[in-house]
Structure 1
Amino acid sequence: MAALKASNFLFRRPALPFFRSITTNINSRRPSIEDVRSLRLITAVKTPYLPNGRFDLETYDNLVNMQIANGIKAILVAGSTGEGQLMTWDDQIMLIAHTINCFGDKVKVIGNGGSNCTSEAINATERGFAAGMDAALHISPYYGKTSLDGLVAHYNAVLSIGPVIIYNIPQRTTQDIPPSIIETLAQNPNLVGVKECAGNDRIKQYTDKGLVVWTGIDKESHDARWDCGAVGVQSVAANLIPGLIRELMFEGKNPTLNSKLKPLFEWISQEPVPIALNTALAQLGVIKPVFRLPHVPLRMEKRADFVKLVNEIGREHFVGEKDVQVLDDDDFIIVARY
């Protein structure tokens, strides 16, 4: 990886003609909790970059249009897959507003509002709903963490603003949100449901009690949907193969297709998301091979493995029209300041 190029451009948000005052959307998009609860497939969309580290909005729009063309009805903006953690709040809200302004009549827009700081989570959620998003995704406070009573107070603070999906991913936060807390919060009418990454046994426990749950793990999504009662998946892999993930979620049990896709699911999750996804999209030629630190592309042997997977599954199932290729280290641009 030593040959990877680095760039130290400062990220300055340009004046963007599409960025209208977000308050103009407050009455034009009224979130429907039941509409969001029925979504079987939500793509956690990737945020692409220009060589200077700024948002590549033209490519972003192309990515969203690829999802829409494949029947995807909802996207998650600026989650961990979309690298919201590498954005300022202003840029994150701008991207949510841009998505709503450009695609809000075609897809439901879930905006990431999660933060370790309750005050920041409240502010981001208020601004996202002012922009017109349909629901907010909220991870639990991470690193500093809190007590179980603190979890209830934190979530009640954001639930008072509008529809919220609770995101439980103890792999990232190191703190599981136990069922007792979810069941307490489920009494709030603004709780849309749970994005659960603690396994399908937990999902079954919730769905048996009538709670709405999505899995956030692609390799568990088929069984979560068809055996454990999950409404569907909030998917990383759908960035690459939206049509096949839609088939997996909508067209009945299909262990053959699930087995065919499992090697890809494993490949995507071999490093923290979205490292492998970013590498894959660059090798498919649908985004520029730009990474914001601390993310760097997969090593060469893993890049070659992806080309093999594409050929095994079929290039026609993947987004983009260019031939897949193994990129060299020198093809990637690593941006340290943005």
Structure 2
Amino acid sequence: MLFKGSGVAIVTPFDATGNVDLEGLEQLIAFQLENQTDAIIINGTTGEASTLTREEKLATIRHTVKVVNNRVPVIAGTGSNNTAESAAFSAEVSALGVDGLLVVTPYYNKSSKRGLYEHFKVIAEHATVPVILYTVPGRTGVPIPVETVAALAEIDNIVGIKDATGDLAYTAHVRRSTPPEFAIYSGNDDMIVPVLSAGGVGVISVAANVVPKAVHEMVTAYLDGDAARATQLQLDYLPLIEALFIETNPIPVKAALAIMRLPAGGLRLPLYEAEDATKQALETVWKELSQ
């Protein structure tokens, strides 16, 4: 198992000219490590990976591995809807010192069950580190069927799934159909405790960019047997979580980091900066949490 607890799907900060801000990324990583984050996930959806060049992805991965220096696992997003390209990139990234890969369902193509299985199988064969599947049908338009997850779980280096379906019945069926060591991570911050209750072991979190210690404590409390404490934290931070998804992620989380005076910068088109109403909602929630 790559990790238990809270893995942050970290943003990619940009400087004033729109280039990747590696110094800013280093500050964000330091903030995460100081606040007990259990893993760093680089180049995911929240990291705007779809708008990064190949060279930028490699640079952010190398820098993250260097800065983290084995203190927590580093997991890099290497998925795309081009199997051959994703397989080759996964092989290259595997050699950069990462602890694992996060591979999203191929979007747009609308693959069959067999196609999905073969897609992930080929990528896993090229990777030399563990692979976490990532199902997010709201983004990709294609879920990974439970029976396909179960078949993929039999491949040695496919070790878990980030479940962003928002469907707890799906989560339960995945848990029932896979070995106990196959890790399930919530991909939705508003469902961390429910997913843990269905056999999950952690979260790959957007909210952890803003409140890493709270998300870590939420998961740790549940796994340590204090479900009441975990549930209370889930409820306490629900207004923030909802505010972070008023607009498409990562638009609000970058606005929240700006409120906190942490490096984030702008967004790359086709994403655009947060609406004034979103910024005001985040300001209000942040003030309430800071009291």
TM-score, normalised to structure 2, is 0.92
Q: Which amino acid aligns with 2:282?
A: F
Among 173, 181, 185, the alignment partner of 1:205 is 173
User: What is the letter of the counterpart of residue 235 of structure 1?
Assistant: S
Establish whether residue 239 from structure 1 lines up as the match of residue 206 from structure 2.
Answer: no
Unaligned runs of 5+ in 2: none
1:75 aligned counterpart, secondary structure: strand
In 2, distance between residues paired with 1:170 and 1:243?
A: 29
CA deviations on 1:208-228 (whole Å, 9 max, x unpaired) are 343320010000012212x21
Find out whether 1:68 has 2:25 as its counterpart: no
**Counterpart for residue 248 of structure 1:** 218
Structure 1 equivalent of residue 87 of structure 2: 122
Match of 2:258 in 1: 282
How many residue pairs match? The answer is: 279
The residue aligned with 1:169 is 136
Query: Can you list the C-alpha shifts for 1:228-283, whole angstroms capped at 9, x where unaligned?
Result: 11001000000000111111110132322221111111111122210110111112
How far apart, CA to CA, are the structure 2 residues paired with 1:229 and 1:152?
23
Please give the secondary structure, in 2, of the residue aligned with 1:195: strand
Q: Rg larger in 1 or in 2?
A: 1
C-alpha distance in structure 2 between counterparts of 1:289 and 1:53, whole Å: 8
The amino acid of 2:189's aligned partner reads D
Pairing partner for 1:223 from 170, 173, 194:
194
Indicate which of 269, 283, 286 corresponds to 1:307: 283
Q: Deviations over 1:7-64 (max 9, x none)?
A: xxxxxxxxxxxxxxxxxxxxxxxxxxx3x0x422110011101111111111110100
Q: Secondary structure at the match of 2:238?
A: helix
Counting aligned pairs with the same residue, the percent is: 29
Counterpart of 1:131 (choices 85, 96, 108) is 96
Does the aligned pair in 2 maintain the 1:263–1:309 contact within 8 Å? yes
Q: Does 1:266 align with 2:236?
A: no
Secondary structure of residue in 1 paired with 2:185: strand
Partner SS state of residue 95, structure 2: helix
* CA distances 1:179-199 after superposition (whole Å, capped 9, x unpaired): 010111111111110111122
Give yes or no for contact 1:116–1:145 (8 Å, CA) kept in 2.
Answer: no
For residues 1-338 of structure 1, the aligned pairs below 5 Å read: 34=1, 36=2, 38-160=3-125, 161-162=127-128, 163-198=130-165, 199-209=167-177, 210=180, 211-225=182-196, 227-251=197-221, 252-253=226-227, 254=229, 255-287=231-263, 289-314=265-290
1:291 deviation in Å?
2.2
- Please tell me whether the aligned partners of residues 80 and 86 of structure 2 are also in contact (alpha carbons under 8 angstroms): yes
Q: Hey, what's the Cα distance between the residues in 2 that align with 1:144 and 1:207?
A: 27
Query: Which letter maps to 2:192?
Result: S
Whether the aligned pair in 1 keeps the contact of 2:29 and 2:67 (CA below 8 Å) is: no
The residue number in structure 2 matching 1:326 is none
More deviation, 211-220/297-306: 297-306
Return the letter of the residue paired with 2:183.
V
SS in 2 for 1:229: coil
Distance across 2 between alignment mates of 1:66 and 1:149: 42
Task: Check the 8 A contact 1:51/1:288 in 2, yes or no.
Answer: no
Residue aligned with 1:246, SS: helix
Q: Hey, which of these two has a bigger chunk of helix by percent?
A: 2
How far 1:288 moved relative to its partner? 5.1
Equivalent position amino acid for 1:265 in 2: I
**For the residues of structure 2 that align with 1:54 and 1:47, how far apart are their CA atoms?**
10
Letter in 2 for 1:202: Y
SS in 1 for 2:114: helix
- For 2:193 and 2:27, locate their aligned partners in 1 and report how far apart those are by CA, in whole Å: 27
* Cα drift, residue 207 of structure 1: 2.2
Would the aligned equivalents of 1:77 and 1:96 in 2 still touch at CA under 8 Å? yes
SS of residue paired to 2:237: helix
Q: CA RMSD in A?
A: 1.3
